[in-house]
């Protein structure tokens, strides 16, 4: 298939800007990119109708299990801090998920990601009442929709001994059955250090094979550091290092309350840091120190807040800008998104993804974007931050998934017709859990 009559924007790729050009796809890969009109042959052609073409976007950290949370009733009492937010909202929600709700959450989250141009998802899943088989369900749904996926189940002591063991086993099963599957990248999921004992971290380390990485929230809130210090460690990151849990395949998410000195420790370990600014702002936990973010191995995620990575880059830019003095340079959030996330995903999957270039995964997003001002290689950043909305067409894994805003595999309305009653059922189950335990332990 040839996608033609498009402007190609890939700021950190081999060819950053082609004002008018075309892309050839074969199988699930891009095989050619060029300027001008397409070859005059009998190949299937998709007329981009002067769209702006970007690489498929990558979400470096999200929680698809929270896809039915939008608009849910708030807890009966205000949450004064982050541990209370977890205890009164998210640890109620994940406990309320059964296998059916897990499945519809994956479907909604993956489809909503595609609708916002996201073709690769690095997920961090939790459903304590439906652990076994949950990652198989995620992989199956991602393959149905053409989304490249990294799968991990959050291990935590809060599940109890049996739940802890089941979560370790679920991650181990995913490694053992999916590691060689194209466009699936298993990781060992850990919730956060402050919900894992010393013995639990030792057990997790034993369960990992050489080279396998972890995916963990780290220093999102000061409580993580307090627990680390009780073990004699200077920070949550140092605690993970002491247990031998970090390597070049590991993802450390947030890092809001890591000391600046941990930047060199991250570099030495090879681990990746994933920044989630909208979630940090929403939870009022603070801002990740710039020395940790101005490094080579840093990506951008949404932490389940929403599916739009361009929106995440815009929010991050504005939130951090609000605290900077006049004339001070801001963090380049679009570099995190379009360069950092591509390098991160390419590393995890062992296959090129995230650029409009030969050999890369066939992920192309077309925006019906006709700006009132010039767009080019010198001013693209402002256009991406403040211009395009949802894409018109999304090609993932070499196949058209969204065309003219509609999901080509099925009617979008049919999925939403299932998700709305499912959301009501989830919210009722959450209310029932609150009634049984109105003040859950955090």
Nearest to 114 by CA among 421, 413, 402, 416: 402
Q: Are 242 and 329 part of one and the same domain? A: yes
Q: What is the per-residue pLDDT across 280-322, written as a single tens digit (0 to 9) for each?
A: 999 999 999 999 999 999 999 999 999 999 999 999 999 999 9
Nearest to 250 by CA among 202, 293, 188: 188
- 436: pLDDT strictly greater than 80: no
Q: Are 117 and 44 part of one and the same domain? A: no
Residue ending a domain, choose from 349, 366, 383:
349
Q: Structural domain of residue 248, as residue ranges? A: 57-349
- The CA–CA distances, whole Å, from 47 to 42, 114, 245 equal 14, 20, 48
Q: Are 42 and 62 part of one and the same domain? A: no
Q: Are 345 and 377 part of one and the same domain? A: no
User: What is the crossing angle of helices 160-178 and 134-145, to 10°?
Assistant: 40
Task: State whether residue 284 is helix, strand or coil.
Answer: coil
Task: State whether residue 29 is helix, strand or coil.
Answer: strand
| Structural domain includes residue 414 | no
Residue ending a domain, choose from 311, 326, 349:
349
Q: Are 335 and 391 part of one and the same domain? A: no
Q: Are 363 and 342 part of one and the same domain? A: no
Domain of residue 371, CATH code: 2.30.40.10
Domain of residue 252, CATH code: 3.20.20.140
| Structural domain includes residue 310 | yes
**What distance in Å separates the CA atoms of residue 189 and residue 90, rounded to the nearest whole number?**
17
| Structural domain includes residue 373 | yes
| Structural domain includes residue 380 | yes
Please answer whether residues 184 and 123 qualify as being in contact, where contact means their C-beta atoms are separated by less than 8 angstroms.
no
Report strand pairing: 399-403 vs 406-407: antiparallel
- 213: pLDDT strictly greater than 80: yes
Total domains present in the chain: 2
Q: Are 394 and 377 part of one and the same domain? A: yes
Q: What is the per-residue pLDDT across 145-159, written as a single tens digit (0 to 9) for each?
A: 999 999 999 999 999
Q: Burial level of 347, CB count in 10 A (0-12/13-18/19+)?
A: middle
Q: Are 155 and 270 part of one and the same domain? A: yes
Indicate the pTM of the whole model: 0.97
Q: Are 186 and 255 part of one and the same domain? A: yes
Nearest to 25 by CA among 1, 5, 46, 8: 1
Q: Are 373 and 262 part of one and the same domain? A: no
| Structural domain includes residue 418 | no
Q: What is the per-residue pLDDT across 81-94, written as a single tens digit (0 to 9) for each?
A: 999 999 999 999 99
Q: What is the per-residue pLDDT across 58-68, written as a single tens digit (0 to 9) for each?
A: 999 999 999 99
Please answer whether residues 267 and 295 qualify as being in contact, where contact means their C-beta atoms are separated by less than 8 angstroms.
yes
| Structural domain includes residue 101 | yes
| Structural domain includes residue 429 | no
Number of continuous H segments (helices) and E segments (strands) in the chain:
16, 17
Average pLDDT estimate for 335-348: 99
Q: Are 328 and 369 part of one and the same domain? A: no
Give residue 438's pLDDT: 53
| Structural domain includes residue 439 | no
Q: Are 253 and 269 part of one and the same domain? A: yes
Give residue 175's pLDDT: 99
Half-sphere exposure of 264 (CA within 13 A, CB side): 1
């Amino acid at each position: 298939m040839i996608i033609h009559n498009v402007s190609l924007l890939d700021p950190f790729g081999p060819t950053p800007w082609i004002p008018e050009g075309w892309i050839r796809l074969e199988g699930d890969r891009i095989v050619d990119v060029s300027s001008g009109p397409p070859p005059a042959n009998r190949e299937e052609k998709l007329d981009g109708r002067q769209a702006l073409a970007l690489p498929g976007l990558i979400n470096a950290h999200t929680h698809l299990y929270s896809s039915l949370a939008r608009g849910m009733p708030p807890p009966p009492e205000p949450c004064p801090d982050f541990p209370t937010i977890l205890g009164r909202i998210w640890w109620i929600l994940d406990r309320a998920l059964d296998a059916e709700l897990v499945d519809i959450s994956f479907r909604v989250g993956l489809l909503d990601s595609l609708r916002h141009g996201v073709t690769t998802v690095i997920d961090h899943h939790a459903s304590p009442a439906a652990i076994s088989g949950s990652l198989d369900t995620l992989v199956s749904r991602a393959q149905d929709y053409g989304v490249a996926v990294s799968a991990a189940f959050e291990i935590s002591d809060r599940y109890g001994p049996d739940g802890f063991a089941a979560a370790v086993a679920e991650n181990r099963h995913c490694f053992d059955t999916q590691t060689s599957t194209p466009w699936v990248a298993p990781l060992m999921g850990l919730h956060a250090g402050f919900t894992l004992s010393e013995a639990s971290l030792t057990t997790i380390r034993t369960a990992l094979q050489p080279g396998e990485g972890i995916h963990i929230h780290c220093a999102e809130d000061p409580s993580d550091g307090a627990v680390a210090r009780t073990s004699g460690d200077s920070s949550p990151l140092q605690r993970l290092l002491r247990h031998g849990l970090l390597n070049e395949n590991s993802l450390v998410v947030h890092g809001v309350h890591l000391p600046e000195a941990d930047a060199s420790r991250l570099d030495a370990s090879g681990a990746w840091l994933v920044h989630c600014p909208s979630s940090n702002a929403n939870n009022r936990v603070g801002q990740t120190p710039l020395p940790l973010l101005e490094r080579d191995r840093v990506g951008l995620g949404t932490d389940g807040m929403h599916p739009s990575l361009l929106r995440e880059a815009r929010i991050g830019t504005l939130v951090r800008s609000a605290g900077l003095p006049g004339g001070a340079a801001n963090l380049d959030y679009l570099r995190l998104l379009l360069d950092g996330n591509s390098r991160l995903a390419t590393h995890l999957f062992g296959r090129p993804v995230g650029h409009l270039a030969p050999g890369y995964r066939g992920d192309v997003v077309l925006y019906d974007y006709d700006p009132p001002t010039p767009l080019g290689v010198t001013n693209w950043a402002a256009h991406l931050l403040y211009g395009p909305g949802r894409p018109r067409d999304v090609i993932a894994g070499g196949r058209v998934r969204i065309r003219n805003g509609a999901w080509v595999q099925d009617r979008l309305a049919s999925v939403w017709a299932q998700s709305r009653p499912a959301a009501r059922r989830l919210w009722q189950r959450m209310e029932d859990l609150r009634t049984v335990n109105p003040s859950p332990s955090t």
